Structure 1
Amino acid sequence: MPIRARSRILVGAATAALMSALVPQASATSAPARESRPIYSYDRAVRESVWVDTGLDGDRDGRGDRVAVDIVRPREAADRGRKVPVIMDASPYYACCGRGNESQRKTYDADGDPVGFPLYYDNYFVPRGYAFVAVDLAGTSRSDGCSDVGGPSDVRSAKAVVDWLNGRGRGYTTRTGAERAHATDWSTGDTGMIGKSWDGTVANGVAATGVEGLKTVVPIGAISSWYDYYFAEGAPLYDSGPDWLSRYVNSPDARARCAHVQQRLVDGAPRTGDWTPLWDERDHVKDAHKVTASVFVVHGQQDLNVRAKHFGQWWDALAENGVERKIWLSQTGHVDPFDFRRADWVRTLHRWFDHHLLGYDNGIDREPMADIERAPDQWSTDRVWPPRTTARTTLRPGTGAAPGVGTLRLTPPRPGATETFTDDPALDELDWAAHADAPTPAKAGFISRPLTRDLRLSGSSTVTVTATPDTTSAHLSAVLVDLGPDTIRDYGAAGEGITTLTERTCWGASTAGDSACYKETEARTADVGFTVFSRGWADLGNWADARQGRPLTPGKPHTITLDLAATDHVVPAGHRLALIVGGTDRYLIDPPASRPTLTLDLTRTRASLPLVGGAPAFLRATSGTVHPAAPRTAPAAGVTAPRPVPPIPGGSTR
C-alpha cells in the first residue's frame, strides 16, 4: 500500500537491518515464499555505472560502441554473497526527454556516479531483493553509437546488457577504460525488461531475439512493428519519419557522427509508404516464434500515438507460438498503468516479477489472463483473451433510406448497391460519427438496428472495401462506432484520460536524491453521444500489394482489406453498432495528393468482426424488443478531438 507523502519516513540502514532480522529470506527448508519483502536498505544500495560492449561500431569512429548501464542493487545481498535478479528499462529518453508522468531524468553526482533513477522501479524493488538497471540505448545520453529507431543498434545494445548480466558479454567500469566489470558476481542473470512506448518496444525486440536469461517482458503502450508506427498499408500516419525521431534522442556526440545513419533512415523509409528492408529489420511480429520470455502486455485502447494495432498483432503472434502471456487493456490513450490504476498495478507487477524472476509460486500464472477497463475505473477479467466463444463474423453493409446512411446486417445487400463519398481532409472520425445518421457527403455510414442485448467485440477486425476512385490516388479510413450515450475516459484531452493531482503517494523507499513519491491521478471523463472504438487506414494504391503502392486507374474498382485496431468493447443494449468508411481521417493519417470521390460496391464490401458468441450473438442482439440503456447526463457530441498527437513514442506526457 502507498505511504502518504505528508507522513513519509525515509527508510535508513538501521530500519532495513531490523526488517532483515524480522523478515528472513526464504531458505531451502522454510515454507515456499509467496512474496518478496522490503528487507534491504535502499539508502545503502550499491549505485554504479558500467559500460557494456555491443559488438557494433555504429558511429564509425573505429572503436566498438559501449552503452552506459546505470545500476542500483542491494548492498546487503552482495555482502552476504547472495545474487539477485534484474529489472531492466532500456530507453533513449533518460537524458533528452525524461520518463513518466513527471518527465524524470537520471541524475549523477560530481564524480558521475548515479544518484537518481526515474520512476519507482528502483525504490520499490531494490529493497525487495532486485537490482534495477537503466540502460541508455546506443547514441543516447552517455552511450556510444547512433540511434537507429528500432533497428539493430537499439535491439543489440539492449540485448548486449542481458548477455553481460549472464556472463556472456564484456563490461567496463569506465566508458573508455579497460578495467572489467563482472555482473555474475552479484546477478543471477534472470532479467525482466519493462518500459513504456519506445522502452517497451525495445523489450519486445530483445524478446524476439530469444536471448537466454530474459525471463519476462512488460511492454506498456509498445510498438510491435515500426512500419505500423509510421504507415498503415501505405497511408502515412505522420508527416515525418524515423530520421526525425533519431535526431530527437541522439546525444550531441551522436548528432555529430551519425549523418550516415540519418541518411539510411531517410532512404529506407520513403514517404510512399512502401515496405522496405529497413522495416523488415524493425518487425518484431515475424520473430514472435523466437520468444521464450513471458509477456505482460499493457495498452490503452484509445492510444492514438502507438495505436492499438500494435498490441493486437503482437498478442496474436505470441498466442500462435504458445508464449505465456497476460494483458491489461485500459480506456486511456498513451498512459502508464501507474497513472490509471496505481495500487492494483504495483501489486500485480510485484507478483509478476516475483513469479518469473524469483520463482515464487504465488498463483499469478493461474489467474485470469486479461483485465479490461469497461468504464472509467471499472474493470472486468477474462480467464482467456479473447474469450474462447469469440468467432469472426461477417457483417454486410447495405443501402438505407437516405444516401450515405445504410444498414449493417448479416445478410448481403441487394445486387448493384453502392454508396459514394468525397474525401474531405478537413474532417475526421469524430465529425463522421457525430453525423452518422445524416446523409453527409464525406462518408458512408452503415448502422445496425438498436441492440436488444449487449454485443461484445474482442480482438482485431478487418474491413474489405471495393472502391472505384475518380483520381489516381486515394486514402481510406474505416471506423467502428458505438452509437449511444456513455461516460468514458476523455482520451483526446490533455492527459489522454487522466488528470494529474497535486497530492503525492510513495511507492518504496526514498533518499535525498531519489524520491519514491509521485503525484496521484484520477480519471478524466467525458459524457459522449458516441464512441469510436476501433479504426484502420490504408492507401487504396496498395490494393494489389500491401507492401507496395501504385497509381490507381480512375473509373476502375479496386479491392483492399483494412486492418482495424484490436479492441475489447461492449456495445450496450439500446445502442447501435456503426461502420463508417471515409477518406482522410484528419490528424490520424495524412491526405492523398488529390481529393477523390469514391464509389463503394457494397456487394463486395464487408466487415469481419470478432464477436463474442459469433453470428448468433449478433442475430439475437438485433432482433426482438429493445431495452434501452440507462439514461445518462445529456451527452456532448463526442470527446475532445484527439489533435494533434506528436510522433514521439514515449515522450514525457505521452
Structure 2
Amino acid sequence: MKLNQFGRLTVDQATQLKELTAIGFAPDLTQPLAAAAAAAYPLLFPESHSETAKQQALAALAVTADQDLAQFLAAQPTQISRPAFYAVALQLLGFEAGTDYQLNDSLAFMAKTGLPTVDGDLATTADFWAALYLLLTTRTKHLVTLIDDLAVRGFYCDFQTGKAVPAHLFFNGKAQDVFDARNLHREVVWVESDLDTDHDGKRDMLETTIFRPKETDAGTKMPVLFTANPYFHGTNDVDWITHKPDPKLAVKTHSYTKDEVTFQPQPAALPHQPVNGESKTAEVYGDENGIYMLNDYMLGRGFVTVYSGGVGTRGSDGVRSTGGTGETDSAVAVIEWLTGKRRAFTNRTDGIEIKAWWCNGKVAMTGKSYLGTLSIAAATSGVAGLKTVIAESAISSWYDYYRENGLVVAPGGFQGEDADVLAVDTFSRQKQAGDLLKVKAEWDKALAAIGKAQDRAFGDYTKWWDERNYRNQLKNIKADVVIEHGLNDWNVKPANAIRFWNGIQALPIQKKLFLHQGQHTYLDNIGSLDFADQMNLWLSYELLGVKNAAPDVLPNVTVQDNVEAETWHTYKNFGTADADHEDQVYNLQADLTGPRASFADTATAIFNDAKEDSDGFEAEIIKPHSKYDSARLWLDLPQAASDQTLEGVPHLQLRLWIDQPTAILSARLVDVGDAKRFAPVAGVVQGTAWPLGFDYKTVSIQEFKPAKATASKLVSLGHVNVQNQQNAYENVPVTPGEPFTVDFDLQPTHLHLPAGRHLALIIHGADMAQTQRTETAVNFHIDRAGSTLTLRYRK
C-alpha cells in the first residue's frame, strides 16, 4: 500500500500551534512533555465520551510488545522515541499491529507506505506538538487524513455551540467538517433562462435542486458546488433509436470551407416572467439524492450543493440538444442566479421570486462525463462568479466524441450511439406524461433535426458540430480549471482532455491536470491518491478565500504510473515540445519490422463469421497472433533497452494507395510483452471505508490493480476517412490505384515502457468497436518507406 499525499501543507511552528488551539487542543510549550501527551492523546478518541472510555481506548493501543499507551503515559515519559511514537501513530491511522506492520518496525512501514515522519525522537514538548500536527495531517488507511477521521467520529460535534453565526473552520489550509451534512434544506426552485427551446414564446424555466446546510439559516454564507447533471432525474430507453453500424462508407461529394462550418449564435429577445411576490422559502422538497461523492464530502465543510438537469429534463421546460448552446446557457443561468444576477421562482407559473440569499457569490462546477462537459461549456462562457471547474472525464468538443477525421465513430463500448440517442436518453421530461403532452410535437421536430444535422452519412465537421466545440471559446475562460481523465478512457477519449489542456496554457488562469490508468471513472475514491483532500485545499482557496497557496502547492500535472502500482508522478506540463521531451521519428520501413506492406480489409466478414461483439474485437485486434492477422499490418518498433516514458500525442503519416474511392483507415499503438498490467477498471479494496462526514454516507475505496498477465495492451488509437486528408471538413477525391498521403494524430498517452518490452503499430481498416462496419473488402497498400510514426518521449 502506498498513500501518496500532495495536498498537505508544511507550515511553521506558530501556525501549527495556532491551528491546534483552534480545533480544541491546548498546546503549551512550557508544559512538560508527559503532561502535554497525557492531555492530547485522549482527544484523539472523540467517540469516547467519558474519562473511563478514553482510558480504555488508550489501553487498546500498544507502544511496544510489553506496554500499552495508557501504561506508557502513566509512566510520565520525559521523551518519546521516534519508533514508539509511530508504533502508536500507525494504529491511530487505522493499521493493525502484527498484521499490517510490526510494532518494532514502525518506521520501515511508514517509509514503505509513503507516510511522513519527523526526523528525530521527541525530546521536548515542542517536538511532540510538531509530530502530532504532522500526524493529524497524515493520511489514514481509510483515504482521509487523521483529522478528517476524527471529525467523522465526532471531534467537531460541539464546534458551533455558542456561535450566533456558525463559522467555517480551517486546518492545514482546508475546510473542516464542522457543519451537519445530515441536517439539510432540500429545496427545488425554477431559474428563469434566456431560452425558448420548445418554442412556446416563453422563457424556459429550469428546475434546480439545492442541498443547503441549515446553518445558513443563522446567517452563514456558503459557496456552491454546482453540478449540471442531465441524468439527475433519470434516463430513458434508447434501444429503439440506437443505430446499426453502416455496412457502406459513402463517397463524399462536397468539400466544406472554413466559413461554411463556423457557427454564429443567433440571440433572441424574450419577455420576462412577471414577479408577483418574493419568498425566502422554497415550495418544493428535493426528493432526489446527491449523486457525486466529492459534493457530499464537501457538504459538511460548508459548501452548498446544487444540481440542475437543464432544458428538457424532468421538471424543466425546453428540449434537449446534446451539447448545443442551450445546454451551456442552462448551466450559466443557474450560476447567474446563485450570484444574484438572475431570477428564480418557487414554482414554474406563480411568479414568486426567490433569491440565493445564503450564497457567498462564489461557485465551482463539478462532475464526470456529460456533467464535467457542461462544466467546461459554462467556463467557456466567461460567466462571472464561476471561480473554478473540476471536470472529470469531460468532452471538450462533441465532434471528438461522436466523429473523428471525417468518420462516424462511437464512444468506446457504445457502438451505434450518436447525438440523437443521447438526446433521447436525457429527455426526462417524458417521464411525466402530462408534461410531455405539452411538448411532444416540438420534441419530435427537435429530435428529427438532430438526426439530420448529426449527419451519419458523411461524418464531416459542420456548423452543427462547431456549435458543440467548446474549444472555440477558450479565450473567454476566467475560471481556474482542474481536469481529470483516464488514459484508458475509450468512451470520452483522452484527446478531449489534452486538446483542452493545451488550448488553455496561455490563459492567465490556474490549471491542474490529473491522468490515471483507468477508463471512464472518478478519481475521488482511488486509495493511492489524496484527490479529495487536494480538492478541499483547492476549493477552500477558490471559494472561501483561504490563503493556502493551493496553486503553488498542488502539482501542475499528476500522472499515474502504469507499471508500478499505486505510484503517481508529478510534472510541470504534459507532452510539450520542451527540454524535458524529445521526439523520435520512426520510418515504417527502416525502423519497424513486419513481413508485408499490404492487406485486405476483411475485418467485418471475420467479425460476423466469429459472431463477435465490440469487446471481443477490441481484445482480439491487439493480440500478436489474431484471427484478424490477414486484415491488418503488425509492425514492431525496436525493443526498449532501458525504461522509456512515452508521453504526448503520437502522429502517423502514411503514404498509401487503395483500390476503392474511399475507406476507413485505423491505427493502434500497442504495448507488447508478457506482463501483469493494470485492470482497466479499479477494484474495491475497502468497501464502505471512505467516510464523507460525521454520521453520514460512506463510499468504497478503490484502486487500479495488476490483473492476469497479457501479451499486449492498447496504448493509443486513431481513425481517419482517407478522403479527409487535410482536416475534418475538406474532402479530397481518392482515385483507386493512385498514391496519396494522410496525416493524423492518435490519442494522447503517457506510458511507462519497461526494458524488454516494445511497442507495435497496427494498421487496419474498419474498427468493429468504434467505426462503421463496412463490408467492402478494400485492399490497402502502404508505402512503408514513405511513411512515418512520430512519438514523443519524456527524458
User: TM range, normalised to the smaller chain?
Assistant: 0.7 to 0.9
2:415 is aligned with 1:241: no
Distance 1:171 1:401 in 2: 63
Q: Which residue of 2 aligns with 1:261?
A: 446
Aligned mate of 2:657, from 457, 463, 468: 468
Q: Which protein has greater RCO, CA pairs closer than 8 Å, 6+ apart?
A: 1
Aligned mate of 2:176, from 7, 30, 37: 37
* Displacement of 1:545: 4.1
- How has the CA–CA distance of structure 1 residues 162 and 229 changed in structure 2, closer, same or farther, with 3 Å as cutoff? same
Distance 1:23 1:483 in 2: 63
Distance 1:146 1:510 in 2: 40
Q: Which has the larger radius of gyration?
A: 2
Aligned mate of 2:312, from 139, 145, 148: 139
- How has the CA–CA distance of structure 1 residues 79 and 31 changed in structure 2, closer, same or farther, with 3 Å as cutoff? closer
Asked if structure 2 preserves the Cα contact closer than 8 Å seen for 1:19 and 1:38, the reply is no
Q: Deviations over 1:29-66 (max 9, x none)?
A: x9997121122222333321111111111112232101
2:413 is aligned with 1:224: no
- How has the CA–CA distance of structure 1 residues 480 and 22 changed in structure 2, closer, same or farther, with 3 Å as cutoff? farther
2:507 is aligned with 1:368: no
* Displacement of 1:467: 1.9
SS at match of 1:319: coil
Q: Which residue of 1 aligns with 2:223?
A: 85
Distance 1:527 1:129 in 2: 46
Q: Which moved more, 1:129-138 or 1:388-397?
A: 388-397
- How has the CA–CA distance of structure 1 residues 571 and 115 changed in structure 2, closer, same or farther, with 3 Å as cutoff? closer
Distance 1:567 1:31 in 2: 37
* Displacement of 1:259: 1.7
Q: Which residue of 2 aligns with 1:521?
A: 702
- How has the CA–CA distance of structure 1 residues 510 and 146 changed in structure 2, closer, same or farther, with 3 Å as cutoff? farther
- How has the CA–CA distance of structure 1 residues 329 and 341 changed in structure 2, closer, same or farther, with 3 Å as cutoff? farther
* Displacement of 1:150: 0.6
2:541 is aligned with 1:355: yes
Q: Which residue of 2 aligns with 1:391?
A: 582
* Displacement of 1:484: 1.7
- The answer for unaligned runs of 5 or more in structure 2 is 1-139, 237-281, 411-415, 608-616
Asked if structure 1 preserves the Cα contact closer than 8 Å seen for 2:593 and 2:637, the reply is no
Aligned mate of 1:424, from 595, 603, 628: 603
Q: Which residue of 1 aligns with 2:352?
A: 179
Query: Counterpart amino acid of 1:284?
Result: Y
Asked if structure 1 preserves the Cα contact closer than 8 Å seen for 2:621 and 2:628, the reply is no
Aligned mate of 2:187, from 40, 48, 68: 48
SS at match of 2:207: strand
Query: Counterpart amino acid of 2:476?
Result: K
Q: Which moved more, 1:217-226 or 1:283-292?
A: 283-292
SS at match of 2:743: strand
Q: Which residue of 1 aligns with 2:689?
A: 505
SS at match of 2:540: helix
Q: Which residue of 2 aligns with 1:637?
A: none
Distance 1:545 1:9 in 2: 53
Aligned mate of 1:537, from 719, 722, 725: 719
Q: State the identity %.
A: 25
Aligned mate of 1:283, from 456, 463, 469: 469
More strand by share: 1
Q: Deviations over 1:264-300 (max 9, x none)?
A: 2112110110111111110012222221111111111
- How has the CA–CA distance of structure 1 residues 402 and 179 changed in structure 2, closer, same or farther, with 3 Å as cutoff? closer
- How has the CA–CA distance of structure 1 residues 531 and 460 changed in structure 2, closer, same or farther, with 3 Å as cutoff? same
Matches within 5 A, 1:189-208: 189-208=361-380
- The answer for unaligned runs of 5 or more in structure 1 is 99-108, 406-417, 492-496, 614-654
> TM-score when scaled to structure 2?
0.67
Q: Which residue of 1 aligns with 2:386?
A: 214
Asked if structure 1 preserves the Cα contact closer than 8 Å seen for 2:380 and 2:473, the reply is yes
Q: Deviations over 1:88-112 (max 9, x none)?
A: 11011012149xxxxxxxxxx9954
Distance 1:33 1:310 in 2: 34
Q: Deviations over 1:524-559 (max 9, x none)?
A: 523222222111111112124422446532112222
> TM-score when scaled to structure 1?
0.81
Q: Deviations over 1:196-248 (max 9, x none)?
A: 00000000111111111111111111111001111111222133421111111
Q: Which residue of 1 aligns with 2:612?
A: none
Asked if structure 2 preserves the Cα contact closer than 8 Å seen for 1:33 and 1:361, the reply is no
- How has the CA–CA distance of structure 1 residues 21 and 604 changed in structure 2, closer, same or farther, with 3 Å as cutoff? farther
Q: Deviations over 1:438-490 (max 9, x none)?
A: 99332223222221112212111221112211112211111212212332222
Distance 1:295 1:603 in 2: 43
- How has the CA–CA distance of structure 1 residues 205 and 605 changed in structure 2, closer, same or farther, with 3 Å as cutoff? same
Distance 2:150 2:446 in 1: 46
Asked if structure 2 preserves the Cα contact closer than 8 Å seen for 1:481 and 1:532, the reply is yes
More helix by share: 2
Asked if structure 2 preserves the Cα contact closer than 8 Å seen for 1:541 and 1:551, the reply is yes
Aligned mate of 2:204, from 59, 65, 75: 65
Asked if structure 2 preserves the Cα contact closer than 8 Å seen for 1:88 and 1:193, the reply is yes
Distance 1:506 1:339 in 2: 8
SS at match of 1:394: strand
Asked if structure 2 preserves the Cα contact closer than 8 Å seen for 1:329 and 1:372, the reply is yes
Distance 1:429 1:423 in 2: 16
Q: Deviations over 1:403-455 (max 9, x none)?
A: 546xxxxxxxxxxxx54453523465643432279993322232222211122
Query: Counterpart amino acid of 1:52?
Result: V
* Displacement of 1:18: 0.9
Distance 1:292 1:230 in 2: 28
- How has the CA–CA distance of structure 1 residues 9 and 304 changed in structure 2, closer, same or farther, with 3 Å as cutoff? closer
2:226 is aligned with 1:96: no
Query: Counterpart amino acid of 2:589?
Result: G
Q: Which residue of 2 aligns with 1:607?
A: 789
Matches within 5 A, 1:561-576: 561-576=743-758
Distance 2:550 2:293 in 1: 22
Please, what is the CA RMSD of the aligned residues?
Answer: 3.3
Query: Counterpart amino acid of 1:18?
Result: D
- How has the CA–CA distance of structure 1 residues 523 and 17 changed in structure 2, closer, same or farther, with 3 Å as cutoff? closer
* Displacement of 1:380: 2.0
Q: Which residue of 1 aligns with 2:517?
A: 331
Aligned mate of 2:299, from 120, 123, 126: 126
* Displacement of 1:168: 1.3
Asked if structure 1 preserves the Cα contact closer than 8 Å seen for 2:620 and 2:628, the reply is no
SS at match of 1:595: coil
Distance 1:125 1:35 in 2: 11
Matches within 5 A, 1:581-592: 581-592=763-774
Asked if structure 2 preserves the Cα contact closer than 8 Å seen for 1:88 and 1:134, the reply is yes
Distance 1:402 1:386 in 2: 27
Q: Deviations over 1:542-598 (max 9, x none)?
A: 124422446532112222112211111121111112222111222122233522011
* Displacement of 1:126: 2.1
Matches within 5 A, 1:542-557: 542-549=724-731, 552-557=734-739
Q: Which moved more, 1:60-69 or 1:381-390?
A: 381-390
Query: Counterpart amino acid of 2:720?
Result: A
Matches within 5 A, 1:372-383: 372-375=559-562, 376-383=565-572
Asked if structure 2 preserves the Cα contact closer than 8 Å seen for 1:162 and 1:189, the reply is no
- How has the CA–CA distance of structure 1 residues 208 and 436 changed in structure 2, closer, same or farther, with 3 Å as cutoff? farther
Distance 1:59 1:439 in 2: 49
2:19 is aligned with 1:19: no
SS at match of 2:723: helix
Q: Which moved more, 1:369-378 or 1:261-270?
A: 369-378
